[in-house]
Amino acid sequence: MQLNIVKKLEVIKSFFTLCLASPLPTERDRKEKYKFSLTKLSLFISAGSLFMIFSFGTVFAQTPNVPVPSQDLLIIFKEKPNTRSLLNLSGKLAPDKGKLKGGVPNSSIVVYEVSTDARTAAEHVRSDPNVKIVLPMPKVYAQKTTNDPFFTDQWTLEATNVGGSSQTAWDLVPDLNATSGIKVAVIDTGIDRTHPDLAGKIADSDWVTCDYNHTPQCYEDSNGIDDNGHGTHIAGLLGATPDNTIGIAGVGWGTKILSIKALKADGSGSLMDVFLAAAYALDHGVKVINLSLGATESSLGPDGIAATQLAIDDIWNQGGLMIVAAGNCGNGSDPGCGGVNPRMYPGASNHVLSVGAVTTTGSSASYSERGNWVTVVAPGGSCLSTSEQSNCILSTWSASGATCPVSASPSGYCYEQGTSMASPQVAGIAALMLAKNPNLTNAQILQIIESTSIPSIAQGASQFGMVDAKAALTSVEIPQNSPTPLPSLTSFPTPTDFFASPTVVPTTTGLVCTHSCPLHEKGDANCDGVINASDSDTWYRQFGTVVPANTVPSGNFECTEGDSTSTTIDLIDFEVWRRNTVQYVP
């Protein structure tokens, strides 16, 4: 069954204040201001200035080594948070006017907004015995590419044995039409779905934006254009429509794309939005996720790296495989690199497939990260002048994006170079493998790609060498039984933690909101005339459910008949209790 990390967890709209003195909102205020969706997010965390996913001029996104503090705190508990741990944390953040903005369901990750300097606020909770990691919200950056020209053929297809004159990976997929049943997520600057070479590749419901300051945090977005160009370039390499007499052919042949915009027009984005995007992909049945973004080791720091790994482990444990650009600081030419060949994250994290870049000659590209933490290499291009146009990589470009840096590029396309261009080719190979056998697990895909790569190409640049699509497809066995086109992902067992996914209930009929005693609207669940811990225990047990009218005890403290968003017991009800309880001690 499909992973369902969050099923519309309707809660406070912007963020609800866990400060004892804050006034209780009216029902109108609640509906207008205190409702937001804790959209799925259990994913990975990468920040700072990581991979070379594209952009305008230089090889790497210019990101300072020491990130500017945000006003949001990323907090990871040692265990999944509950009522007590959240109350304790809110008390410690009271001097900073801390506001809980959201969290990653089925995880230990939450986000607080603070009115003071985020680093100062972090020190106020660092000693909390329930807190494992706290840090100002890191940012992620698209990998920038150079202004270098062109190439006239897709030399990358033959270099990776995807397509060409002799038998290749495409020939080893028994039914190439089966690729249309596979979907790969591209978390980036968005994708221009109106591009003729991407026609039919992105459904209306698969054009999504993730923004943790929005309600809901991940949503279908008809205005979610690619205002940069990088995401559209990645999408073309992965899934441009083949055999249509125009443009280029994507590695994944008929593979569909889930476009999730998590980066802004300048190629930057918050770590939380990447978390949300990855979790959204998993929740919608996607196993392979392409990430051409990230941050340097120095910009993340030890806490950021640890948090990144925790998030990636969560994705891996749920069946997802993140294919990540290794980064473009191999020669340290960009000031944002902070040095030569630094480790980049999440590329250097465990449980990812990290991809470096090679040139037309099979040598490691000068800009590419290299080392045994890079899993494999794939074509990324390397062109230093217009006379070397054939060494660059051509792909689709957004009509709403920045001007393509190579003026001689065909209309609607752009020549680029970088590890950002390498990773989607590997993601396309993974899609071909799933088309041949949809039952493959993330561990099997990773192991096959590693074991079939060519170690003699670009030796020392990666652990396993140049990816070989033909060899990988040869190693994939055709299942004996007819599989479902999209492999299912194993979901978590029903959790008992604070941010558990709510129980799915049928549409409610009849009254559910009639209160059974005078103090019920203030948090008296058991109607004993006292608002105390026993009432919060009732709320905790009933969280995510709908209870009939006049049920005693009932944790549904804020409810409007006919408003389906208020009938489920959620975080708003907890906030009602929290503001009225006589037992709260910061």
Contact indicator for 423, 289 with CB cutoff of 8 Å: no
Which superfamily is assigned to 142-475 in CATH? Peptidase S8/S53 domain (3.40.50.200)
Distance CA 476, CA 147 (A): 39
The catalytic position among 72, 96, 188, 192 is 188
Is residue 284 flagged as an active site residue? no
DSSP assignment of 116-132 equals: S-HHHHHHHHTT-TTEE
Task: Please name the helix (run of DSSP H) or strand (run of DSSP E) that holds residue 42, with its range, or none.
Answer: none
Give the pLDDT score at 583: 56
Q: Mean pLDDT, 10 residues at a time, over the chain (586 residues)?
A: 32 25 33 29 28 28 40 89 83 86 80 89 90 86 42 76 84 91 97 94 93 88 90 96 88 96 92 89 96 91 91 95 96 84 94 97 95 97 75 92 82 92 98 97 98 96 97 91 44 35 41 81 90 86 81 86 75 82 55
Residue 385 burial class via C-beta count within 10 angstroms: exposed 0-12, middle 13-18, buried 19 and up: exposed
245-262 per-position pLDDT tens digit: 888 999 999 999 999 999
Of the candidates 145, 138, 405, 356, the one whose C-alpha atom is nearest the C-alpha of residue 268 is 138
Contact indicator for 81, 103 with CB cutoff of 8 Å: yes
Give the pLDDT score at 387: 64
- Straight-line distance from the first to the last Cα atom of the chain, in angstroms, rounded to the nearest whole number: 42
Whole-prediction pTM: 0.66
Q: Give the strand pairing for 321-325 and 352-358.
A: parallel
Q: How long is the chain?
A: 586
Distance CA 127, CA 441 (A): 40
The catalytic position among 37, 85, 107, 230 is 230
363-408 per-position pLDDT tens digit: 999 999 999 999 999 999 987 766 677 788 999 999 998 888 877 7
| Phi, psi (degrees; rounded to nearest 5) at 362 | 85, 5
Give the pLDDT score at 165: 66
Contact indicator for 429, 452 with CB cutoff of 8 Å: no
452-504 per-position pLDDT tens digit: 999 999 999 999 999 999 999 999 998 865 444 444 443 333 333 333 333 33
Is residue 351 flagged as an active site residue? no
- Going from N- to C-terminal start, the domains of the chain cover 10-41+67-137, 142-475, 520-580
Which superfamily is assigned to 10-41+67-137 in CATH? Peptidase S8 propeptide/proteinase inhibitor I9 (3.30.70.80)
| Phi, psi (degrees; rounded to nearest 5) at 335 | -55, -30
Give the pLDDT score at 579: 80
Helix ranges (DSSP H) in 379-499 = 419-436, 442-452, 469-475
Assign a CATH topology to domain 520-580.
Answer: Type 1 dockerin domain (1.10.1330)
Taking CB atoms within 8 Å and a gap of at least 24, the contacts of 25-28 are: 27/558, 27/560
Would you state the structure tokens that stand for residue 198, as one six-digit string?
Answer: 């991407």
The catalytic position among 292, 298, 299, 420 is 420
Q: What are the Cα distances from residue 245, in Å, to 97, 242, 249, 251?
A: 59, 8, 10, 16
Give the pLDDT score at 500: 37
Would you state the structure tokens that stand for residue 105, as one six-digit string?
Answer: 């369901």
Is residue 497 flagged as an active site residue? no
Same fold: 10-41+67-137 with 520-580: no
